[in-house]
Structure 1
């Protein structure tokens, strides 16, 4: 259709709805053709009941993948038409059991020929098509159960947005940004501590002049994220991955991950074999990011921060780390 050629895949929901409406309209006419007293929306419930003696609403809902309230509504409608009967479970009087009534059983017999003819008709249509719609639906259902369309779109949005991101080395022009971004998230969840003031008040002296590095993420040339590598006076760890902060306005653009990748690449260039970081488990997105970058939980290292309740490390050079 010309309209959908214009909209492209954006209108997939509308297109599927139109196809569903067309098939549903024909389905109602098909039931009349076979003199079967069923509504199309009842069929999943009816089919399950026709293959079982008695079932609870919960069991039916689970079997057909519908919600309990929607199945309950269908049961009430079918009961009003005399297609099903309800009775109490003899073993547990709290449970209602649903079964086909004699009228429902007669409908089930009449439905046999209809199901056979409909199946043959679908096969006939499929033979005239290049692609197997039934298999395609199965594949889409499986994939969307693994990951929602929303998640797919979010990932594509991140990819596109990340093309506008550039990570650059720190200069004094970014001193206020470095402090503001870090102070913003720290104050939101915790309190600024002495170690924060030392690092943020004069990053040149406290970080860079001590052998560390700071990186700034620019989104369309506007600074929106920062992170640092702090040279550690430690016999085990080479650098601390620290002071990661991204503006709330720029989150969801993969900026934290891009900053992390640049920092890890720089650490390798500097010959680092082990990186260390400190965080707090209340910062779930940050913990997920660190894990995505390859950091794993460790314990036992001294920390100057009261807010620290998780420590992590990343082995960059396994051969050197063994020594």
Structure 2
């Protein structure tokens, strides 16, 4: 599933979808069993039965919902004849929610249905169901001890002080070379055979062949890459420049480009070129600012079907 690939970023959406699935299933069970309640009513009705008349504020705190949500739900339950609002006998200035006789009778007949729900959940989910309940317990306690907003904003403040770091190729980063380049290739063009061959063996085709591969790290995350490919003696190609689209604006692309140019000079290169496409306006602008000059025609014997831009490095 797509949302599962987003991990923590989609946690709320995944829990919402899972919650809706549980609500729908229990509503169907209630309907099939002739119960006169809805699954979303359960927390309020059950709490009132177990604890007694309660204010909306105390109810919201007890079941972990907002005051507004509980108040709206209480209005629906009043309309359904399950709950009544009445004056608090201990403080006449406020009202409390209380079960009506109809509410008491509806809940009183639900023991067998709730038992079936418990056992059905166990049968359907197996050990994962117990693990889910324990995980929810743990998450609820963790959020009490360390509120989520504060934790996220603290991380954001730390990240705002982080700088992009450029590191050379190492085997553990190989998959990121493919991932980052495949991301933009599939978005704008397609992965050609020459690309696939390079992704399959970056060490052999680039590093061991006299070139170099660099990666941009941001707070430990691999956010960009590029390759300096040895074409022939003293001739190098700048290629496979890819930056994660979620990390644009950090300057990772320019830092990768500068590092590749420094490496080109360190190796005593006499020509540095690149092939690109006119659709990639932002990248072409960066190359021009770094000293690349667009040529009048595509490179003779171009490696790529997508290439309609040929640039040669002339220096800043």
TM-score for the superposition, normalised by structure 1: 0.45
TM-score for the superposition, normalised by structure 2: 0.46
